[in-house]
Amino acid sequence: MLHVTELEKTFYPGTPAEKHALGPVTLTLQDGEFVTLIGGNGAGKSTLFNAIAGEFLPDAGFIELDGQDITFLPEHRRAALIGRLFQDPMKGTAPSMTMEENLTLAYLSAGRGGTLRGKAQRRAFFAAQLERLGLGLETRLKTPVGLLSGGQRQALTLLMATIVPPRLLLLDEHTAALDPATAEKVLALTNEIVREHHLTCMMVTHNIDTALRTGTRTLMLEDGRLVLDLAGEARAGMTVETLLAKFRSSLNNDRILLPGSGAV
C-alpha cells in the first residue's frame, strides 16, 4: 500500500528558471490497485514517479510504502521495492549482456531475493516465464539483448521488473515508443502480470481510452496537482469524449469541474 502525503517539489528555486513541478499531492493506493495517470506535458506525472522512486528528494511531504517511510531512502534501496519501466525500451536492459544474464541480475537483485540458487533451476524458470510472453524468446536465452527489437526489449524489461513481484510497479508511458500492435501486446501482458501477482501499480499514459479501460482507477494531474480521481461507477460511466473535454479544458488552464466527492 502506497501513501503519498503533501508531497511538494520545486526545481531551480530562487532562479528565473524556477518551476513548481509538484504538489502538494496527497494520494493513497490500496493493495492491488491499478491506477492510470493522465495529464498534459509538464503536468508532473513523471515528476511524481521520480519522487516516489527516489530520483530526487521532495521539498516537503512523506512517502510511505507498505508501512515503511521511504521518503529519504536512497534510490537504489527503493529500487529493491519498486519496479520501473520507461518510455525508452533501451533504458531497462543491458544490451551487450545476454537475456539470461539480464534476467539473472534482475532476479538476484530483487528486494526479497530469489530462492532459486542453481543455474539450471533458474534457466528453466526464466524459459518458462519468457514462454508466457509469446514472443518466442524462450529459446534465445544466450542472445545479447541488444539484438532484440524495441518491443521485445520492453516485454523483457517488464518481465525483469516483475520476476520477483515488487511492492509497487511504476510504468511511465512504457508502450508509447512501440508500434500499435506491439504496444497492445505489451499492455495485455502488463494487465496479465499485474493481475496474476496482485501488484499495486501506477501507469502513465497519453491514451485516454487506455487510461479508462486499464486498471481500476484513473487520476489526472495538472500543474503538479491532482485534479481528477475517478473510480468505481463514476469511472465506469465516463466516456472518452467527456474525459477528453476535461483534458482539453485542463490544457487551456480553465477551471476544472470535479465530479462529486471523488476529486482531490
147 sits near other proteins (criterion: CB under 8 A): no
8 A C-beta contact, residue 81 and residue 168 = yes
Q: For other proteins, which residue of 105, 116, 176, 177 counts as binding (CB under 8 A)?
A: 105
Smallest gap from Cβ 149 to other proteins, in A, equals: 17
Q: How far apart are CA 62 and CA 190, in angstroms?
A: 28
What's the one-letter identity of residue 79? A
Q: For other proteins, which residue of 57, 60, 94, 251 counts as binding (CB under 8 A)?
A: 94
Smallest gap from Cβ 202 to other proteins, in A, equals: 15
What are the CA-CA distances from residue 248 to residues 11, 33, 127, 214 (Å)?
Answer: 26, 27, 45, 21
| Residues that contact other proteins, how many (by CB under 8 A) | 28
Let me know the angle formed at the C-alpha of 98 by 94 and 101, rounded to the nearest 5 degrees: 80
What's the one-letter identity of residue 185? K
Backbone angles phi and psi of 80, in degrees to 5? -70, -20
177 class by beta-carbon count within 10 Å (0-12 exposed, 13-18 middle, 19+ buried)? middle
Q: For other proteins, which residue of 90, 141, 177, 240 counts as binding (CB under 8 A)?
A: 90
Contact range with other proteins by CB under 8 A, out of 16-24, 94-102, 195-203, 247-255? 94-102
Contact range with other proteins by CB under 8 A, out of 109-117, 184-192, 234-242, 245-253? 109-117
Q: Which residue has the cell 484513473?
A: 218
73 sits near other proteins (criterion: CB under 8 A): no
The 60-65 sheet, strands edge to edge: 19-29, 2-11, 60-65, 68-69
Q: For other proteins, which residue of 92, 151, 165, 224 counts as binding (CB under 8 A)?
A: 92
Backbone angles phi and psi of 188, in degrees to 5? -60, -40
104 sits near other proteins (criterion: CB under 8 A): yes
Q: For other proteins, which residue of 110, 169, 204, 243 counts as binding (CB under 8 A)?
A: 110
Q: Which residue has the cell 512504457?
A: 174
53 sits near other proteins (criterion: CB under 8 A): yes
Q: Which residues bind other proteins (CB under 8 A)?
A: 53, 55, 74-77, 79-80, 84, 86, 88, 90-97, 101-102, 104-106, 108-111
